[in-house]
Structure 1
Amino acid sequence: MLKTGIYVDAENIRLCGGYGMRYDVLVELAGAGKSVLLRANSYLAEDRARTKEDAEYRQKLYRYHDVLRQCGFRVIKKYVKHFVDDEGILTTKANADMDLAIDALHQARNLDRVILLTGDGDFIRLVLALQNMGCRVEVIGFKYVSSELKEAADSYLSGFLIPGLLPIQAPPGENRQRGIAINYNPDRGFGFMRYYRLRPEGLIPESVFFHCSKAADVNDALFLDTTQIFEFTIVKNPDNNSRTEAWDIRVLDA
């Protein structure tokens, strides 16, 4: 069994497209296949001054922390600091990078696999250090992810592609998915959408046929970009022997 640890740079994830992320799905992902979750840490910011003065903020924040703990995460708080810079502008800062890096390095002695949720390129040296200790490092991010961080990791996967990690708003009964276009033929206007299912054995890639006529305001250049994420509905086409296809294709608005 692979001994796995999850480390979440929560403020980076929140500000870079991952607001509302489901921590229970992270736990399911980490425990899938031949893996067991040993450590789960989330590093968050708290404004103590606002906590004391704003009851609504305090209630929402602590309820959020309780949800994380119920999912099995240890909550590590970094308190917001307020200071005036050289230009007289009030600035706030709450950076937990050092805490995350130190914890990961110490705890990695008992781990085989680290799942790091961040897009911050400052963690490249941590990734390399963990790899040198024998750990496999998998990075999950949303928007504004450092290209160097992606390259340093053993694998990178957009959090938008992990089923349920950020729930998709769709009418009841509609099979709405997120994926990327692969094997697109611009001359004939068709290709396949690659998406994932989260099963007990792990993330399972699947693909479904699509034609560009089923897309709203999407051009060939976007279909040829394998980093571009789409949302689409999987249907059985009654005019094509009920073949499964991707319809109502839209660029992810994230």
Structure 2
Amino acid sequence: MLPAKAHIDTHQLAWIITDCFGDEEIITMADQCGLLHDTQHRTETRKDWIAYDLAACFFSGASIEDIVSQHLAKKAAQAARRVQFMDLTEIRLFLRSAEQLRAEGELGEILWALLVDSREDVQKHGHRLLADHEQSVPPSPPPPEDRNDPPPSDTAQKTAQSESDTTDQSTSPHCSHAGAPIPESTESSSPVDDPEYLKITPIPETDLNPKQQAILSNELKQNQQQINKLYSALSELKNGYTVLQSENDRLKQKIATLVEENNFLQDREELYRESELRIDQLNRENIGLKRDVEKFSNQLCEFHELQAQKEKITVELKSVEEMAYHSQQVLEQIQSNFYSQFSYLQGVNEEYKTVITRARQKIVSLSGQRGTAGTNRMLAGQPRVGVFVDVQNMFYAAKDRYARRLDYIKLLDLIVGPRNLVAAYAYVVQIPEINQAGFLSLLEHNGYTIKSKDLRMRGDGSAKGDWDVGIAIDIVSMLDALDIVILASGDGDFCALAELIKQHGKRIEVAAFEHNTSMDLQRIADQFFPIGDEMLI
């Protein structure tokens, strides 16, 4: 026996059949059950009446039950697979609205899948959906008993006859369900309800002898008493039926109320579940926020510590700045005093140089007066010498290595010797911040010809001030008047110039500080004069 058979009635099954199948499918199923055989009446019979007859025969005949069940199982196969793979919670969540399922066109199939499921809770959910549907859409009325439908086929008659022999329950002319509820009868539907109907009409006494009359009268009285008792019992049963009917109505209302409460509680349960999930999520977020707060608190503590250290360092830095300011003031004062003292010493030095220059001029003048003739004879056979001094190169070489200055007068006497000096050039770069007037005057008074140029500033802030090209031009222009070129510079840029001088058959000599002279220049030169301490002042 199917689980659904014990819990639904003919009206409910008829509606499921009508919702699941189309008109042609219902007629085909009725043909298979032997309910229709007259083609003329098929179009005249309402399809919901045919579905009702199928539902009624479903409850009264096992063979028809099998046929209807097979058709429904095939129709609701997909819905049954869905229900089988869902638990009760999912079924209540996704299949909770009969109205929604009806709008989607699958209510009948879902209801049958729920009703035939092996799980009792799932079946109960199907009954609840069916009850909700009946409240919103009342079932169609059953077909009238006196409709002119064609008689069942011989097979259906034999099936109904054989199955009716196994039960004492009566069936409807169209195989209505034997266990279906009996239609409510009205008080005027039976003559038994009339007390006058229950009275027995007395037999005329002329037809019976006295003894027979007495016996019949006695039996009549007994029958009348029995009838009265039955009538009383019937009245009690009617009263009890009325009470039960009222109780049934009350229970139906209570069931409807409980169903509504159950639906409400299910909705509340779903809300509670969602709330619990949300609470769990909020708890996790709260834990994360607490960790972030703790992390930020630690960072804030570190920030406060750093801020305190910054304030401490700021105070110390302010103290250092004050000390630096005072030190700068002291340094500026010392520098001012130094410059004042240096200017004073420079003035004294210039005075001494002037005195020395005058003394040397005096000595030279006296020496010239004593031996002019002999000197001219001595210089006549000597080679012609030209001296070219790169003052900037000599100055920085002496300053960087010895922190002293070169004696240019002694240098000229040493490198020329007894040879004939044609010209001696001193190439100077003028620096605006340094006053070199006294130095240049000293060189001029001791045989040097001064060539000077100002220090030029480039656009990028660097300075340009060298005589490399100027020295080379002067030497080349004087080669014909010289036999020996003496170059006082250690700059390797003059290597090409030295090669050119030798190509012209002239002698090239180099005088410079050995540590500051290019090795190539020393190799090319015909003679190299290393400058030592004896030529420094």
TM-score (norm 1): 0.56
- Give the corresponding residue for 2:389: 8
Deviation at 1:84, TM superposition (A): 3.2
Identify the match of residue 420 of structure 2 among 7, 11, 36: 36
Deviation at 1:79, TM superposition (A): 1.4
Q: Does the 8 A contact of 2:415 with 2:511 survive in 1?
A: no
Unaligned runs of 5+ in 1: 168-254
Q: Does the 8 A contact of 1:80 with 1:92 survive in 2?
A: yes
Q: Distance in 2 between matches of 1:136 and 1:15?
A: 27
Deviation at 1:83, TM superposition (A): 1.8
- Give the corresponding residue for 1:239: none
The one-letter code matched in structure 2 to 1:26 is L
- Give the corresponding residue for 1:165: 535
The one-letter code matched in structure 1 to 2:396 is L
- Give the corresponding residue for 1:77: 452
Deviations 1:79-101 (A, max 9, x none): 1011232xxxx211101111100
Q: Distance in 1 between matches of 2:498 and 2:384?
A: 17
Deviation at 1:109, TM superposition (A): 1.1
The one-letter code matched in structure 1 to 2:512 is G
Deviation at 1:78, TM superposition (A): 2.0
Deviation at 1:129, TM superposition (A): 1.0
- Give the corresponding residue for 1:94: 465
5 Å-filtered alignment, 1:107-186, equals 107-142=478-513, 143-160=515-532, 164-167=534-537
Deviation at 1:15, TM superposition (A): 1.1
Q: Distance in 1 between matches of 2:425 and 2:458?
A: 28
Q: Does the 8 A contact of 1:41 with 1:74 survive in 2?
A: yes
Q: Does the 8 A contact of 1:121 with 1:146 survive in 2?
A: yes
Q: Distance in 1 between matches of 2:474 and 2:392?
A: 17
The one-letter code matched in structure 2 to 1:102 is I
Identify the match of residue 66 of structure 1 among 435, 441, 457: 441
Identify the match of residue 25 of structure 1 among 392, 407, 410: 410
Q: Does the 8 A contact of 1:4 with 1:30 survive in 2?
A: no
Deviation at 1:26, TM superposition (A): 2.6
From the CA coordinates, give the structure whose radius of gyration is larger: 2
Q: Distance in 2 between matches of 1:17 and 1:111?
A: 29
The one-letter code matched in structure 2 to 1:82 is M
The one-letter code matched in structure 2 to 1:7 is F
Q: Does the 8 A contact of 1:123 with 1:149 survive in 2?
A: yes
Higher percent of residues as helix:
2
The one-letter code matched in structure 2 to 1:63 is G
Deviations 1:82-135 (A, max 9, x none): 1232xxxx2111011111000011112111111111110000011111111222
3-state SS, counterpart of residue 84 of structure 1: coil
Higher relative contact order (CA 8 A, sep 6+): 1
Q: Does the 8 A contact of 1:4 with 1:37 survive in 2?
A: yes
Q: Does the 8 A contact of 2:390 with 2:467 survive in 1?
A: yes
Deviation at 1:23, TM superposition (A): 1.9
Q: Does the 8 A contact of 2:398 with 2:406 survive in 1?
A: no
Q: How many residues align?
A: 151
Q: Distance in 2 between matches of 1:166 and 1:134?
A: 33
Q: Does the 8 A contact of 2:388 with 2:486 survive in 1?
A: yes
Deviations 1:31-74 (A, max 9, x none): 423x1111100111013xx2xxx5xx32xx01000011011111
Q: Distance in 2 between matches of 1:31 and 1:95?
A: 25
3-state SS, counterpart of residue 17 of structure 1: helix
5 Å-filtered alignment, 1:151-230, equals 151-160=523-532, 164-167=534-537
3-state SS, counterpart of residue 134 of structure 1: coil
Q: Distance in 2 between matches of 1:122 and 1:31?
A: 24
CA change 1:96–1:31 in 2 (3 A) is: closer
Deviation at 1:139, TM superposition (A): 0.6
Q: Distance in 2 between matches of 1:107 and 1:23?
A: 22
Q: Does the 8 A contact of 1:4 with 1:115 survive in 2?
A: yes
Q: Does the 8 A contact of 2:425 with 2:449 survive in 1?
A: yes
CA RMSD of aligned residues (A): 1.6
Higher percent of residues as strand:
1
TM-score (norm 2): 0.27
Identify the match of residue 46 of structure 1 among 423, 430, 433: 430
Unaligned runs of 5+ in 2: 1-381
Question: Hey, which bits of structure 1, 4+ residues long, moved more than 3 A?
Answer: none
Deviation at 1:7, TM superposition (A): 0.4
Q: Distance in 1 between matches of 2:484 and 2:411?
A: 14
Deviations 1:194-239 (A, max 9, x none): xxxxxxxxxxxxxxxxxxxxxxxxxxxxxxxxxxxxxxxxxxxxxx
Q: Distance in 1 between matches of 2:444 and 2:535?
A: 17
- Give the corresponding residue for 2:43: none
